[in-house]
């Protein structure tokens, strides 16, 4: 019997095909569009989602049911001795805390990680967990490592429209109207607890420069030791904006030649429904197992 199985959710940006390649499992996050439930990358594709989103529907995010998680864990434990579940940040969803409560009845066989990651930073945690499992670490040891290094990451997202932030109640209608009139683009940041306003930009180019300047500051100060030892990685995420994401990647590589570039991934649909199409994001995080 294998020792530890890594499970995450689709907010990590890992789809079902990639999950099989990595030897892990991914819980599809549910959400509703006009009261009809969908499962990310299972019953709806990225393209279909944005097609529906343009019709201005009522979109609500949800979470996996306790019964679904329990069935998944029970089935997994028939083959593995332990499970490490890495859900999205507890600051952004109740999924994490509900999973922690559910796992308490498994007597240490299921460890739920609360390291407050989302999107490509969450994916980086999954990759580190896979490596630790290969090294023979226990589920508890993997959880402890990921939670000890939870602050070693940051992510910045620039939506191109205020429409979806207004619709989700993240900003007031008056602020959205003024921002739209002035063509202002907000930049949101997250260190795990929630997304907060970091800065404003008048153009996409100005927004990218502000995000990269902040990343530069963090690498030179907060993450200096990890950066100088080659342990920091950078990734780009986007919402239906792959062409610009590739351009952003090239700009990042020129500005940070010492950083390891990892992914260009679409943001999860659970996040995308709140910011809409066209966004760009940059994220850095530690990965202590790059040479593996």
Looking at the structure, tell me whether residues 73 and 135 fall in a common domain. yes
Range of the domain at 20: 2-29+64-148
Is 161 in the same domain as 268?
yes
Considering the domain architecture, whether residues 88 and 165 belong to the same structural domain is answered as no
Contact in structure between 175 and 218 (CB atoms under 8 Å): no
* pLDDT, tens digit (0-9, with 9 covering 90-100), for 181-197: 446 788 888 876 667 78
pLDDT band with cut points at 50, 70 and 90 for residue 290:
confident
Strand order from edge to edge, sheet including 25-27:
25-27, 2-9, 80-86, 110-112
Reply yes or no on whether the pLDDT at 121 is more than 70.
yes
Out of 148, 180, 198, pick the residue that ends a domain: 148
Name the domain count of the chain: 2
- Residue 142 shares a structural domain with residue 161: no
Percentage of the residues of the chain whose pLDDT score is greater than 70:
90
Does residue 240 carry a pLDDT above 80? yes
Interval 194-210 mean pLDDT: 87
CATH code where residue 200 lies: 3.30.1180.10
Asked if residue 160 and residue 139 are part of one domain, the reply reads no
pLDDT above 60 (res 169): no
Instruction: Evaluate whether residue 45 is within a structural domain.
Output: no
pTM (predicted TM-score): 0.90
Pair 161, 137 in one domain: no
Secondary structure of the chain in HEC code, one letter for each residue: CEEEEEEEEHHHCCCHHHHHHHCCEEECCEEEECCEEEEECCCECHHHHHHHHCCCCCEEECCCCHHHHHHHHHHHCCCEEEEEEECCCCCCCCHHHHHHHHHHHHCCCEEECCCCCCCHHHHHHHHHHHHHHHCCCCHHHHHHHHHHCCCCEEEEEECCCCHHHHHCCCCCHHHHHHHHHCCCEEEEEECCCCEEEEEEECCHHHHHHHHHHHHHHHHHCCCHHHHHCCCEEEEEEECCCHHHHHHHHHHHHHHCCCCEEEEEEECCHHHHHHHCCCCEEEEEEECCCCCC
pLDDT at 193: 65
Under the banding of pLDDT at 50, 70 and 90, the label for residue 158 is very high
- Residues 213, 276, single domain; the answer is yes
Question: Quick one: 169 and 250 in the same domain?
Answer: yes
d(CA 209, CA 202): 11
Same domain, 140 and 23: yes
| pLDDT(166) > 70 | no
């Amino acid at each position: 019997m294998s020792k530890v199985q890594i499970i995450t959710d689709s907010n990590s940006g890992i789809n079902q095909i990639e999950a099989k390649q990595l030897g892990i499992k991914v819980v599809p996050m549910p959400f509703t569009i006009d009261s009809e439930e969908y499962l990310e990358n299972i019953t709806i594709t990225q393209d279909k989602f944005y097609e529906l989103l343009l019709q201005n529907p009522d979109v609500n995010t949800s979470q996996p049911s306790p019964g679904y998680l329990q069935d998944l864990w029970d089935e997994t434990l028939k083959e593995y001795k332990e499970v490490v579940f890495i859900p999205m940040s507890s600051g952004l969803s109740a999924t994490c805390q509900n999973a922690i409560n559910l796992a308490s009845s498994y007597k240490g066989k299921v460890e739920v990680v609360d390291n407050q990651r989302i999107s490509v930073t969450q994916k980086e945690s999954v990759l580190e967990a896979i490596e630790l499992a290969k090294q023979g670490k226990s589920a508890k040891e993997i959880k402890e490592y990921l939670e000890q290094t939870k602050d070693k990451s940051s992510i910045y997202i620039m939506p191109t429209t205020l429409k979806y932030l207004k619709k989700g109640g993240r900003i007031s209608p008056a602020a959205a109207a003024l921002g739209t009139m002035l063509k202002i683009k907000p930049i949101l940041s997250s260190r795990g607890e929630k997304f907060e306003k970091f800065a404003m930009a008048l153009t996409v180019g100005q927004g990218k420069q502000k995000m990269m300047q902040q990343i530069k500051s963090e690498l030179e100060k907060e993450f200096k030791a990890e950066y100088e030892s080659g342990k920091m990685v950078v990734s780009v995420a986007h919402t239906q904006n792959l062409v610009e994401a590739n351009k952003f990647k090239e700009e990042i590589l020129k500005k940070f030649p010492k950083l390891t570039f990892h992914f260009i991934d679409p943001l999860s649909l659970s996040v995308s429904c709140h910011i809409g199409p066209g966004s760009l994001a940059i994220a850095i995080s530690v990965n202590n197992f790059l040479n593996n």
